[in-house]
Amino acid sequence: MRDVAIVGVGMTRFGELWETSLRDLFVQAASDALHSARADHLEAVFIGNMSAGQFVGQEHLGPLLVDHLGMVGVAAGRVESACASGGLALRTAFVEVASGMSDLVMAAGVEKMTDTADVTEVLATASDQELEAYHGITFPGLYAMIARAHMEKHGTTEEDLSWVSVKNHRHGALNPKAQFPAEVTLEAVMRSSMVADPLRLLHCSPVSDGAAAVLLCPLDQAKQYTDRPVRIRASGLATGTMALADRKDIAVLDAVQRSAQRAFTMAGLTPADMHLAEVHDCFAIAEICCVEALGLVAPGTGKSAARTGETALGGRIPVNTSGGLKAKGHPVGATGIAQAIELVEQLRGEAGARQVRGARIGLAQNMGGSGASSVVHIFEGS
Amino acid sequence: MRDVAIVGVGMTRFGELWETSLRDLFVQAASDALHSARADHLEAVFIGNMSAGQFVGQEHLGPLLVDHLGMVGVAAGRVESACASGGLALRTAFVEVASGMSDLVMAAGVEKMTDTADVTEVLATASDQELEAYHGITFPGLYAMIARAHMEKHGTTEEDLSWVSVKNHRHGALNPKAQFPAEVTLEAVMRSSMVADPLRLLHCSPVSDGAAAVLLCPLDQAKQYTDRPVRIRASGLATGTMALADRKDIAVLDAVQRSAQRAFTMAGLTPADMHLAEVHDCFAIAEICCVEALGLVAPGTGKSAARTGETALGGRIPVNTSGGLKAKGHPVGATGIAQAIELVEQLRGEAGARQVRGARIGLAQNMGGSGASSVVHIFEGS
């Protein structure tokens, strides 16, 4: 396999972007990625998108989006793994370049979520429709059960959950692309309205529009496009059971553990080698479960990592310096690519007020549904 | 890149399979593929599916389907390019194995179309929603315009269109997996009810349920699984404009031309080297345009190829020996994989009454929408 690098990035602001259509969101992000690498061609584009069919009545995004980018003819396809669709697009592009099939490839993600009234029902189609969604459960409900199980097992408290939101909003306040670039107090989180006990509004990531794109090429061609390529050291993809009811312990995300093991093995690295991480905090409890499953914190300490500052900017292992899904926003198909972009900016030393000093190796973890799929990438700056 | 072979195949019957759910269709096809190769493990699964979100309220098919196959943990993802989703899944699996990322990989396709009343509206989301579908056009209408343009340009007649259906039903009558394993007369086709002038009911592929799966591994490991591996010599993917209105000549499918050029270049072969082909006959006019765009017949002779027998079993270049989408059925996400399976059976000499004598090299072409995406694979028997 060839070594692969990211040589260009582009993303829109995340938010309720009423004036911008799905195709325009993609074109903005993709154009910025091409310009950032001074590239005027592409060989293939892989687009992560969860549900444009249901959200805006549009499947077949591959040809639609390259057409509107002005690049008719380029090989293109959409990949989907619910909220991990962006991570899956990055993996697909990585393998495409590593194989030798193509030299200059775009991995993009896009979701236009605000144009439908049924967002919660559409998102629920990422759970098991026949065993879960059909009976009325939604994602806040599924993650609330995970949170309750974690509380029972580890003594995790509502305050522990709330510190995750406080931390991620503190980070997001430094990110001009974030949907909610503002700090929130612990009191505000704990007084916000209850969505699914114990998860309150400010424990939940928002409904968002947005797009993000990265350009990949063989590492030995990277200098044509940038002085600061970021190498993709590893890509790990794994699944777990779809329905929560089929899991031995719903407080453990075993797809996340498996995807991390595959990535660490491929990279020849361990969690202790990571300088920062972007993890999938669709709900506050998800970040707690993920930092444990990834081995970024000691077993059982996930609940306190945000409170103690271990995972905050300036801490031992900063997590979600972008603001995470909570503050940056979560246009589901775009999220995995946006995570990669945060790491590229950090590993290039271009993250401004969010910069993690001396960051050279980072990890991105993107998750689908209630953790039934997970993708982990490990990046290294040059 | 490593050489890649198909070492196992499995598919359900295609048809209105009211008693079988999407997940059960997949498990039948995937289990048969595994058994056919005496394989009890998998490293990755790529699933072609156009629109389970809209058809049955289920996204996130990767983890759902490997879970129900009894293989929780295996890397999995869904890929989509409308009716070319199966072809895209095969390409993704091919690159996965060629790269060295995985050794034993499944490419599958599945669609459950009969559980919704809005099939035509769902399929229309494979066209440009804002420029086409929103204004009321459906796929029979789009292909009717292509047929009219072809008639204007080449003098193609309703009888020419009808001979494609007669030929493919003649082939399909020999295929026990076909949805309509029965011959139709020229008169029956030409008297069938008008759907979108000049396309009649028997010029149109049906609405179908079904699944298909193939197993891929490096060619040099193939003997572990089968005595008769079929090598994938090339994979070509390309796009064209999404909306018909943006094309210079709607009687020409330039995405099909591009995808074929890429595949022939990769294989170092020409159309004249092909012994048979499966092409995307979602409507009779599509087969006529595709055999021309692929270079399988001389320019301008696509219209007469079925009538003269050039593309019939026993002819110079048999096309759609399986019965094609018309007679075999068209569960859209499964179609590209079912095409590959027909070629594998032909190149192994296992096609029974449909066998093309001496077939050693074959081509499969799978198309999305009104031709905005196309995937071509070239296979060689051992």
What b/e sequence results for A132-147 when a residue is b if at least 16 CB atoms lie within 10 Å of its CB, and e otherwise?
Answer: bbeeebbbbbbbbbbb
CA nearest to B66 within chain A: A239
Select from A50, A80, A81 the residue whose CB has the most chain B CBs within 10 Å, as the one to mutate to test that interface: A80
Whole-angstrom CA distances from B353 to B171, B309, B356 are 9, 17, 9
How many angstroms from the chain centroid is the CA of residue A352?
20
| Contact with chain B for residue A245, Cβ under 8 A | no
Residue B242 to residue A60, Cβ atoms within 8 A: yes
- A365 and chain B: CB distance < 8 Å anywhere? no
Percent of chain A scored above 70 by pLDDT?
Answer: 100
The domain at A119-205+231-380 falls in which architecture? 3-Layer(aba) Sandwich (3.40)
CA A362 centroid distance within chain: 13
Closest residue in B to A63 (Cα) is B239
pLDDT in the model for residue A335: 98
pLDDT digit string (tens) for A154-208?
999 999 999 999 999 999 999 999 999 999 999 999 999 999 999 999 999 999 9
How much is the pLDDT for A300?
Answer: 86
CA distance A284 to A287: 6
What class is the B119-205+233-380 domain? alpha beta
Please state the φ and ψ torsions of residue B287, each to the nearest 5 degrees. Answer: -60, -40
* In the predicted structure, residue B64 carries a pLDDT above the cut 90: yes
Residue A49 token pair: 């998108």
User: Other CB atoms closer than 10 Å to residue B105's CB: what's the count?
Assistant: 24
Average pLDDT over residues A234-261: 97
Per-residue pLDDT tens digits for B353-371: 999 999 999 999 999 999 9
| Superfamily of domain covering A4-118+207-230 | Thiolase/Chalcone synthase (3.40.47.10)
pLDDT one-digit tens code per residue, A276-334: 999 999 999 999 999 999 999 998 899 999 999 999 999 999 999 999 999 999 999 99
> Which residues of A are less than 8 Å from B256 in CB distance?
none
Q: What is the pLDDT of residue A118?
A: 93
Q: Which residues of A touch B23 (CB under 8 A)?
A: 130
Min Cα distance A356 → chain B (Å) is 32
**Pairing assessment for the beta strands B361-368 and B373-380 based on DSSP bridges:** antiparallel
Q: Which residues of B touch A255 (CB under 8 A)?
A: 63, 73
Q: Do B63 and A246 touch (CB under 8 A)?
A: no
- Distance in angstroms (rounded) separating the CA atoms of residues B24 and B64: 11
pLDDT score, position B300 = 86
Does A219 touch chain B if contact means CB atoms closer than 8 Å? no
- Which residue carries 């072609």 as its tokens? B48
Tell me if B4-117+207-230 shares its fold with B119-205+233-380: yes
Residues of chain A neighbouring B4 (CB-CB closer than 8 A): none
Domain assignments of chain B as residue spans, ordered by start: 4-117+207-230, 119-205+233-380
Q: Give the C-alpha separation, B54 to B3, whole Å.
A: 37
pLDDT band at A72 (very low <50, low <70, confident <90, very high): very high
**A99 CA: distance to closest CA in chain B (Å):** 4
Q: Nearest by CB to B373, from A63, A81, A239: name it.
A: A63
Q: Which residue of B has its CA nearest to A239?
A: B73
Half-sphere exposure (Cβ direction) of A53: Cα atoms closer than 13 Å: 32
Q: In this complex, is the C-beta atom of A101 within 8 Å of any C-beta atom belonging to chain B?
A: yes
The pLDDT tens digits for A99-144 are 999 999 999 999 999 999 899 999 999 999 999 999 999 999 999 9
Give the span between the Cα atoms of B111 and B211, in whole angstroms. Answer: 7
Compare all CA atoms of chain A with the CA of B236 and give the residue at the minimum distance: A75
The backbone torsions φ and ψ at residue B222, rounded to the nearest 5 degrees and listed phi first, read -65, -30
Q: What per-residue string of b and e applies to B33-60 under the rule 16 or more CB within 10 Å gives b?
A: bbebbebeebebbbbbbbbbbbbbbbbb
Q: How far apart are CA A9 and CA A216, in angstroms?
A: 9
- Residue A197 DSSP SS3: coil
The minimum CA-CA distance between A287 and chain B, rounded to whole Å, is: 21
Closest CA to B163 of B201, B189, B182: B189
Q: Do B77 and A92 touch (CB under 8 A)?
A: yes
Of A54, A75, A262, the CB nearest to B237: A75
State the Cα–Cα distance between residues A109 and A309, nearest whole angstrom.
31
The answer to whether A89 and B267 are in contact (CB under 8 A) is no
CA distance A363 to A340: 8
Distance from CA of B314 to the nearest CA of A (A): 35
Alpha helices in A69-208 (DSSP H): 85-99, 119-124, 139-154, 158-172, 186-191
Spatial CB neighbours of B214, under 8 Å, sequence gap ≥ 6: B6, B8, B9, B10, B33, B90, B93, B106, B107, B108, B337, B340, B341, B344
CA of B66 to nearest chain A CA: how many angstroms apart?
A: 8
A255 and B CB contact within 8 Å = yes
Please give the positions of B annotated as active site: 83, 330
**Which residues of chain A neighbour B368 with C-beta distances below 8 Å?**
60, 62-63
H/E run at residue B378: strand B373-380
Helix, strand, coil tally for chain B in percent (to 5):
40, 20, 40
By CB atoms closer than 10 A (0-12, 13-18, 19+), residue B211 is buried
Can you tell me the distance from the alpha carbon of A306 to that of A302, in angstroms, rounded to the nearest whole number?
8
Residue matched to tokens 């699914």: A196
Chain B, 122 to 161: residues with Cβ < 8 Å from chain A are 122, 125-130, 133-134
CB contact under 8 A, A63 and B92: no
Q: ipTM value of the model?
A: 0.98
CB contact under 8 A, A239 and B74: yes
pLDDT digits (tens, 9 = 90+) for B251-272: 999 999 999 999 999 999 999 9
Chain B residues close to A216, C-beta within 8 Å: none
* Residue B100 to residue A1, Cβ atoms within 8 A: yes
Evaluate whether A382 touches A230 at the Cβ level (below 8 Å).
yes
pLDDT in tens, B5-17: 999 999 999 999 9
Choose the catalytic residue: A83, A204, A289, A290: A83
Sign of CA dihedral B309, B312, B315, B317: positive
For every residue of B10-72, DSSP letters joined together read EEPPPB--TT--HHHHHHHHHHHHHHHTT----SEEEEE-S-HHHHHS---HHHHHHHHTT-T
Is the confidence at residue B299, as pLDDT, over 90? no
CA nearest to B343, candidates B90, B112, B41:
B90
Distances (CA, A) of A287 to A326, A373, B165: 10, 15, 56
- How large is the average pLDDT for residues B68-95? 98
Domain B4-117+207-230: assigned CATH number: 3.40.47.10
User: How many CB pairs (< 8 A) connect A and B?
Assistant: 211
Q: Measure the CA–CA gap between B35 and B8, rounded to whole angstroms.
A: 8
Nearest to B67 among A57, A79, A241 (CB): A241
Give chain B positions within 8 Å (CB) of A53: 51, 53-54, 122, 125
pLDDT at residue B48 greater than cutoff 90: yes
B296: Cβ contacts below 8 Å, ≥ 6 apart: B271, B274, B277, B279, B311, B317, B319, B363
Over the Cα atoms of chain A, what is R_g? 19
Bridge partners of residue A80, in order along the sequence: B78
**Spatial contact of A345 and A228, defined as CB atoms under 8 Å apart:** no
Those residues with Cβ within 8 angstroms of residue B287's Cβ, 6 or more apart along the chain or in another chain: B164, B168, B279, B280, B281, B302, B306, B311, B319, B320, B324
- What DSSP character marks residue A271? G
